[in-house]
Amino acid sequence: MNPKVDAYFAEGCGRCELYQTPQCKVHGYVGPMQHLRSMLLETELKEDYKWKQPTYTLNDKNVLILTAFKDYSCLSFFKGSLMTDPDGILVAPGQNSQAARQLRFTNSEEVITQKDSIQEYIQEAIRLEKKGAKVDFTQKNELNFPDELINKMENNQAFKKAFESLTPGRQRGWNLHFTSAKQSETRTSRIEKAMPKIFEGKGWNER
C-alpha cells in the first residue's frame, strides 16, 4: 500500500481549488474506489501515485489509474482500446480517445456486484502489458489543426518542435481545446496562453 494513496482518499487529489475540502470530487466516491483499490492490491500490480492519482504499474509500465470525476469514479486502462471488453462496459473518455478506456462506477454496490467481471478486466490489462502490446497511434498525423495553430507553428519553429514532441494524446487534447472555440480570435488567444505549457511538454488539463 502506498501512503500517498491513503492521503488521496483523506484529502483529495489536489488538482483543483477544492483540495482538502468536503466538495472535492474524490470524497463523493471513496466507497467504490476503496473497493476497487482492494481488488488491485490483490494483484501483482504495484500501487504508485502519479498525476495526483492512484496509478498501478507492472515493471514500471503504467497499466491503469484509479480516479474520480464529477459524475463517476473509474478504472482507466492505458491500453483499454486493445481489450476484448466481453461485457461491453468499457467507455472511451472522449470521442478522440485512441488508447484509454474506462470502467465507471457511482457507488459501492456497482463494484461489489460486478467484482468478478472487474477482476477479469484487470487481469486482461496485466496480460496485455506482459505481452508488450502497443496501441497503434496511426491517427497522430490525421488531426485537422486549425489555421491559427498551423500559422503559429510556421512562424515559430521552436513552438512547432515543442508541439510535435508532445505525446499523441496531448496533441489531440490541445487540438480539441483550440478547435472548440468558434471564433478565430478565441482560438488564437487559447494558443498564445497554451504555449508555456506546451513548451513544458504538458497537456491542456495538466497543471
- Which domains occur in the chain, in start order? 3-131 (3.90.1150), 138-199 (no CATH)
Burial label for 15, CB within 10 Å (0-12, 13-18, 19+), is middle
The pair phi, psi for residue 93, each rounded to 5°, is -65, -20
For residues 173-195, average pLDDT: 91
Mean pLDDT, the chain, integer = 90
By percentage, how much of the chain surpasses pLDDT 90?
61
156-174 tens-digit pLDDT: 999 999 998 988 888 888 9
In tens, the pLDDT along 107-148 reads 999 999 999 999 999 999 999 999 998 887 665 446 788 999
Question: Residue 189: which residues within 8 A CB-CB, separation 6 or more?
Answer: none
The model's pTM is 0.67
Side-chain-facing half-sphere of 177: CA atoms under 13 Å: 20
Helix pair angle (147-155, 184-199), 10° resolution: 50
Q: What is the mean pLDDT of residues 149-158?
A: 90
Mean per-residue pLDDT, 85-96: 84
Comparison of pLDDT for 68 and 16, the residue scoring more: 68
Confirm if 187 and 179 have CB atoms less than 8 A apart. Answer: yes
| Residue 127 grid cell | 496480460
